[in-house]
Amino acid sequence: MTTPAGPTAAEPVITQAMIDAYDEYTHLTLDRRRFMEQLTRLAGSGAAAAAIAPLLAANSAQAAIVAEDDPRVKGEDISYPDSGGQMKGYLVKPAGQSGKLGTVIVVHENRGLNPHIRDVARRVALEGFVALAPDFMTPLGGTPADENRARDLFSQLDPAQVAANAVATVAYLKGYKDGNGKVGAVGFCWGGGTVNMLAVNAPDLAAAVAYYGMQPKAEDVPKIKAALMLHYAGLDTRTNAGIDAFKKELDAAHVEYSVYVYEGANHAFNNDTSAARYDKKAADLAWGRTIAFLKEKLG
């Protein structure tokens, strides 16, 4: 006679309200105490909130899709000239590179140059590009290991310096010995907004892909020369509020662009280290579109 297995602990139930509260915390208030109080009310207890919080956050221990020691790519930490000194970054290219390749800037979220973004850079390199993931927190001493500390530090970044350092990154890659002179950029969350800003400030940027990034000011849109691909999450009402106005300005300025909205997906749907917000279907579809676009524009 087989004895039935005992009940297993139920997985915490994560609601859209919890995800929205986390999004507000990470992008607007940065007030962890207030967030945990709100999450406790939504979850029903402090214990439940404590179990749910890590599922909403990114898990830096999550296994990489392309391992750091994957023999198909070669990665190294580098320094290169920025707007007033030396910028740090992670450069990756295919191990068996033959000929000059298109180059892609990979711009991190508001957690800095962490293991996930390094993994994304390796994914880009695996598709046949030279990928450079800059650490835009270099002026503040670089990305800290504590992601909460990283988020707090972002408010200290000078937007003008970020823009100048991003433009300097384009200049570095345009002259990179293994590059073909064509530079694109892809960014996520804060990085998506930074890519939009880079498109405004770098007339020689060939292609820009922004994942759920805040839109530039209307008066700056006519400066954009790059072709744009814009990915948005259907449930991301905060970022999506600016889509229609952005499209109107892009049309008026005759900018080449495409917009994709992934219904049912949350902000940060591409980040596979966040259990609650990652949406594999949306992420795979957006990634396929991104790589095809970059190959078209940078080949």
Element (H, E) at 262: strand 257-262
Residue with the two structure tokens 């450079």: 132
Tokens matching residue 287: 């990634």
Residue spans of the domains in the chain: they are: 16-56, 73-298
pLDDT tens digit at each of 299 positions of the chain: 444 443 344 678 888 888 888 878 887 776 888 888 888 998 888 888 888 888 887 776 676 899 999 999 999 999 999 988 999 999 999 998 889 999 999 999 999 999 999 999 999 999 999 999 999 999 999 999 888 788 889 989 999 999 999 999 999 999 999 999 999 999 999 999 999 999 999 999 999 999 999 999 999 999 999 999 999 999 999 999 999 999 999 999 999 999 999 999 999 999 999 888 899 999 999 999 999 999 999 99
Per residue in 73-104, pLDDT (tens digit) is 999 999 999 988 999 999 999 998 889 999 99
CATH superfamily of domain region 73-298: Alpha/Beta hydrolase fold, catalytic domain (3.40.50.1820)
Does the pTM exceed 0.75? yes
Q: Tell me the angle at which helices 46-56 and 32-43 cross, rounded to the nearest 10 degrees.
A: 120
- Asked if 88 contacts 78 with a C-beta cutoff of 8 angstroms, the reply is yes
Q: What is the number of other CB atoms lying within 10 angstroms of the CB of residue 240?
A: 15
Q: Residue 75 in contact with residue 113, Cβ under 8 Å? A: no
**CA–CA gap between residue 39 and residue 60 (Å, rounded):** 22
Maximum pairwise Cα distance, the chain: 75
Cα 75 from chain centroid (whole Å): 19
Residue 103: phi, psi to the nearest 5?
A: -115, 145
Running DSSP on this structure, what letter comes out for residue 12? P
At 69, list the tokens. 């020691």
